[in-house]
Structure 1
């Protein structure tokens, strides 16, 4: 990797991590949703640096576009009261930091102690998009459609909850 690519990597890695931190620490839920979109865009740039253009495009279209807009719509539909205090701080963040640190240490320990993971062959980039699309439209078609169906059901459920369905007595 060239020095320019390394500099771009570190800039966008810092942007992605800082935006993820903003998602967690922001007290305004709309700002959290916007930080989430920024984090997704930072990850998309990292995919471009890894020569995974299809994943970068999917990251932008699906996550930065669709998921972020869905979160913003869900926030707007369910918003009650003042937006500035819609996401109150919690005092349990220290537990989250401890658990995340322990998981990171455990995963790093497993990766560093396993010799089979040290030298991995470089994946070929020739025909990656073609092979992926052939797999999505043949072998993985049913799981792909099931995921789309479940996301649609989740969206319908979120709208019903936001509108306040009829109560049964």
Structure 2
């Protein structure tokens, strides 16, 4: 994963690196586009201005967590670190984003004309005036990112358990071969 000089995520390349879908101990190629991981990432990239993308992030994060909890998603340390970095990038910036958007939610004093009042009301509505507004979308996205972060912790544990099982199996196989 590369970062911009401003510290933002410039490229999601490598985020999926080191991840494994399927039961621990097996390798199943990642599902095609439309899976939980792809939905999650494409929703994050689309951003909070798109209500559908915010729902996609929330659902995608929840789906990743369910896959990990069910033992159907594992990630190695390298993949884990990349995912955690991306999740933390969003979560760390969330508080500032929500504060900034909440300022917009209060109708600004833009003058007494009908037009000025209409613009101030429009800004407030876009920020927090309905379920399609920025604040509800940011809340949905945060929930999805938090779920995805939890999924990564579980998926790393799944991967480690798989590695441990392979080590035990190879050790037993090695003993059998040495005993012959």
Which of the two has greater helix per residue? 1
TM-score, length-normalised on structure 1? 0.31
Structure-2-length-normalised TM-score: 0.29
Mark the structure with the bigger radius of gyration: 2
